[in-house]
Chains A and B, each alone.
Chain A
């Protein structure tokens, strides 16, 4: 028989054991996010100290605060210049790029209903790579000057995902259609890039190869402000759909029955996240793995609620990326290993560890 209704214990002011367990789980979610943000602040201070010029951790924070509070914090001008013009922009760029990739990986996995989806599933990186090839080999670009390569990478990355989303809107935006179209477009643009590579001279080849590895070196404050502007608009738009993403992991039919227009939300999410990823990719090149692994890490620790998952994926992505970049810059200094290579080198073993040892296996089925 159906159970009789036990009146809610909260009406007598007491919480049941399960309710208390749930409360502490919610608290743990917030605590975890605050802890990771704190970790990023600590990492930032530490990574700034790494490099040819010796800077202590205290000086690093002092230099950072000296711009805001010049009267209270003072460092020598050289340290301040190195911190503010060289080391800090790279870290802030890394934080933004990692955050964007983590967030987009999270929402793409949710709408494509596939744990293997990443920000590059829709062929964005191969599109951008092709854009670079066009600029490098043919010298054709939408912008000149410092944005010669970046402009092309951005445009072709967006064209690529716009084509796929357009195709899916005509044919029905199911996750299968999108993933298959993404794979096809990926192959197409990769082969086109190979073709350009085949005809390229040494200098052009170097340009194409170094971009393809993914690097944070290009960040200046002006580029960071572009990235920040795009994020300020797009990330809240993605967060807005957190509930719908929760529901869509139960399948399109269930989503519709709970009031979510699954296909519409899918197209909306993909359009916005493509814009974010294209902006990141055109500045950094392909930084693999962050967008795939950060959401899984977040999911294992925080569970399946996207109201927490989206920001947590971003914060985790940011911390993993700057940590990897810190190692990449200093492991065999003065040679700087491209960031994209280092994220995979340290990300894969960590991911394997989580996969094998993860306590919350149920969140990753």
Chain B
């Protein structure tokens, strides 16, 4: 089985408070995998550690079996592209110049007409060519998101990481962005790993889902096996009904469940040892060590 992206035992923390605790997984080529989990569960941190925007304390990331830690920043940028959650800019520039930035790992001081042609091609692919000369700051949230995806696309990497790309968008644009990403996986055979809040979007588009809580992977697999009422209740403290919508699970939230004594502050490790909790979490997931999404 080919593995495109592999994380092995990633540990990360800010000032000795751990955020990621021994996170490992494998993703095969041409797969769309989403990371879901409550706020603060370490989704974004994991994505940043994979791209080495943050340097993990332990663990390694491999792309095509090549160790990312041994690459310099330019080399990483040729293999991994990243679409940030925030599009805040100090000084804006027009859309064309913004997207052209993504060619940086491949070019010297001068951009060739070939580089510029690649930018035009990607702008056309995402249907935003007519915005090329508009200022980035003038665009709507959905348009900005597409520009950021375009910038990552011109990096021409095999793996793309996205940090909650739909979080500020209306439902039309959420689907628009997800369709674009899903097309990249199918047509360009890219591997995509994205953090996502919306469980139904994750269910609709993902080949695999990684469910995280407090810096650990709690469940992983195809949408139907991960997005079960038991898992969601254990991870989010929310009671849900899961229906089947064209073969994908569709989640309807019902009510919050008050976390009892050993609530969120009790630390990640104890989540499994607390007897009451353990009964809620299926054994197979609690004991999951090797996670393959290939």
Contacts and interface: CB of A to CB of B under 8 A. Distances in A.
A18 B120 CA distance: 9
Interface stretch (A86-94, A107-115, A124-132, A182-190): A107-115
B91 A247 contact: no
Contacts of B123: 18
Interface residues on A, range: 35 or more
B97 A303 contact: yes
A114 B91 CA distance: 8
Given A1-B179, A246-B97, A251-B88, 12 more contacts: A3-B124, A21-B132, A22-B96, A249-B91, A250-B101, A251-B84, A256-B73, A257-B82, A259-B74, A259-B77, A305-B93, A362-B136
Nearest to B76: A259
A260 B89 contact: no
A254 interface: yes
A113 B53 CA distance: 18
A249 B101 CA distance: 11
B135 A253 contact: no
Contacts of A307: 109
A257 B124 contact: no
**Helix, strand, loop or mixed for chain B's interface?**
helix
A10 B117 contact: yes
Nearest to A302: B93
A109 B102 CA distance: 22
Interface of B: 48, 51-53, 73-74, 76-78, 80-82, 84, 86, 88-94, 96-98, 101-102, 104-105, 107, 109, 117, 120-121, 123-127, 129-130, 132-138, 151, 155, 179-180, 182-184
Contact of B91 (A3, A5, A304): A304
A211 to B, nearest CB: 33
A161 to B, nearest CB: 21
A270 B182 CA distance: 43
Interface in A201-256: 240, 242-244, 246-247, 249-251, 253-254, 256
B294 to A, nearest CB: 24
A144 B256 CA distance: 78
B101 A247 contact: yes
A363 interface: yes
A78 interface: no
B77 A360 contact: no
17 contacts: A1-B179, A2-B184, A8-B117, A8-B124, A10-B120, A18-B129, A113-B90, A240-B109, A243-B107, A246-B93, A247-B101, A250-B98, A251-B86, A256-B53, A258-B104, A303-B97, A304-B93
Contacts of B120: 8, 10, 16, 18-19
Interface string A10-44: 10000010110110010000000000000000000
B2 to A, nearest CB: 25
A261 interface: yes
B138 to A, nearest CB: 5
Contact of A363 (B52, B125, B135): B135
A15 B81 CA distance: 29
A25 B116 CA distance: 14
A299 to B, nearest CB: 6
Of all A-B residue pairs in the complex, the 3 with the closest CB atoms, nearest first, are A362-B135, A304-B93, A259-B77
Contacts of A72: none
Given A2-B126, A258-B155, A365-B91, A304 B97 contact: yes
